[in-house]
Structure 1
C-alpha cells in the first residue's frame, strides 16, 4: 500500500470516526430533549430502562466515548487505541443487534406489560387523595388531554370517579360532563411505536456508519502494524 493510499485511508478513518462521534452527540442531545419534554414516563414504569429517551441517551453516550477513542487513535496513529476502539465498537454492535432481537421476539409480552402499567397508574390516580401522587395525575391528565381519550380501555375504567381531563369540552364547565369514550391504550401504543420507529431508524443509520468504521479500521491498523507504530 503506497503512502498516498495510506494517507487517504487514514483521512477517511478519522472523518468517519468523527462523523460517528457527532451522531452520538446528537443522539444524546435529542434524548435529553425528549426527557425534558416527556409526559408519560411515570405511567410506564416497567419500561423505564428502555424508554425511548433513556435508550437514546445511554446509546449516544457510549457511541460518543467509543468513537472519540477511534478519532484519537487515527490522529495519533496509535494501534492500542484503534484495537480498543474496534473491540468496543464490535461489542456495542452486538448489543444493538441483541436488543433488536429481544424487541422483535417479545413484542407481545411487552404489550401486556404496557397495559398492566397503565392500569396500575390509573388505579393509583383513582384511589389517591387530592394532594397525592401529583406526577402520575399530571401525566395521566396530559395523556387524556393530548390524545382525546379516557381511561385505559375506556371511560368505564374510572368506575364513576372520572377526572376532568376526560371531558370533551374545553373548559369543562357544563353541569353534565361529556367524556371521551375511547381508551388511551391503543393511542399510547401508536405513539410509542412511532417513537421507537424513529429511534430504530437512527440506530440503523448509526449501525451502518459503525460497520463502515470497523471495515476501514482493519487495513489502517494493519498498515500501522507493518510500520511499527502504535503502542507508545
Structure 2
C-alpha cells in the first residue's frame, strides 16, 4: 500500500514538474515577445534599468531548469537531484516573498518615479525636431494607443503639439476630439485592477512551491530509507 502511494507521489511530481516546465517555456516566450515588440526604455528610463523583458527571460529559464531538475529527480529517484530541487524551490520562494514585500513597502516611491519619468519623457518628446523619426515619440504613440489615453494627466500636457495618437477619430478637422484621460491615471487603474489577481497568483505560486518541497522531501526520505542512495 505504502509503495503504491509513493509511486503515485512520484508520478504526480513528474506531471506537476512537466506542467511547470511548460509554464516556464511560456514565460520565456512572453519575455522574448516583450523584448521585441514593447521596449519603453526611452519613455521610462528609471524603470527600464530593471528591464522587465530580461527579468521575464531569466524567470522563464529558472522555472524551466528547476522544473526539469524536479522531473528528472522524481523519475530517476535520485537523492542529489531531489535535494537540489528542494533547496532551489525554497530559495525561489524566499526571493518571491522578498520582492512582493519590497513592492508593497515602496509602492508610493515607485509611483512617484513613474510620474517623474513620464513628465520628463513628455517634455523631451515635445522638443523633438523630427517627431516622425523619434524613438521617444513612437513609444508615446504606442502607450497612448494601447491605453486609450493622452499625455500624463490629460491632453493639455502636450500644449500645441498634440500627437495624432491622442485623437479619438480623425485629426484633420479644425477641432479634433481628443482622449480625455491621462496615461498616468490609466496605468494606475490598470495596476489596481490587476493587483488582486497578482496577489492571488503569488499566493498560489507559493502554495505550489511548498507542496513541491513537501513531495520532494517525502520522496527523498523514502529513497534514503530504501537504501537506493544516488541511483542514476
State the shift of 1:197 in Å. Answer: 5.4
Pairwise CA RMSD of aligned residues? 2.7
Q: Tell me the residue number matched to 1:167.
A: 167
Return the alpha-carbon distance in structure 2 between the equivalents of residues 53 and 197 of structure 1. 22
Distance in 2 between residues matched to 1:190 and 1:32, nearest whole Å: 26
- Count of equivalent residues: 231
Map Cα deviations across residues 18-77 of structure 1 (whole Å, 9 max, x no partner): 222222223323443444443756422322365665544332321111111111111111
Give the match for residue 115 of structure 2: 115
Q: How far apart, CA to CA, are the structure 2 residues paired with 1:218 and 1:54?
A: 32
Question: Counterpart of 1:98?
Answer: 98
**Shift in Å at residue 185 of structure 1?**
0.9
More displaced stretch, 95-104 vs 182-191? 182-191
The worse-fitting range, judged by mean Cα deviation, of 74-83 and 2-11 is 2-11
Which residue does the alignment assign to 1:186? 185
Assess, with a 3 A threshold, how the Cα gap between structure 1 residues 59 and 41 changes in structure 2: closer, same or farther: same
Instruction: Give yes or no for contact 2:79–2:220 (8 Å, CA) kept in 1.
Output: yes
In structure 1, what is the equivalent of residue 144 of structure 2?
144
Q: Alignment partner of 2:160: what SS?
A: coil
- How far is 1:173 from its partner? 0.8
Query: SS of the counterpart of 1:90?
Result: helix
Q: Secondary structure at the match of 2:171?
A: coil
- Structure 1 unaligned spans of 5+: none
**Cα distance in 2 for residues equivalent to 1:226 and 1:159:** 75
Q: Cα–Cα, structure 1 residues 56 and 205, in superposed 2: closer, same or farther, change >3 Å?
A: farther
Cα drift, residue 121 of structure 1: 1.3
Q: Residue 16 of structure 2 aligns with which residue? A: 16
**Matched residues in 1 for 2:130 and 2:180: separation?**
24
| Aligned match of 1:7 | 7
Give the distance between the partners of 1:113 and 1:76, measured in 2 at CA. 49
What is aligned with 1:212?
Answer: 211
With normalisation by structure 2, the TM-score equals 0.84
* Counterparts of 1:231 and 1:151, CA distance in 2: 62
Equivalent-residue separation in structure 2 for 1:67 and 1:11 (angstroms): 14
Cα offset, 1:196, TM superposition: 6.0
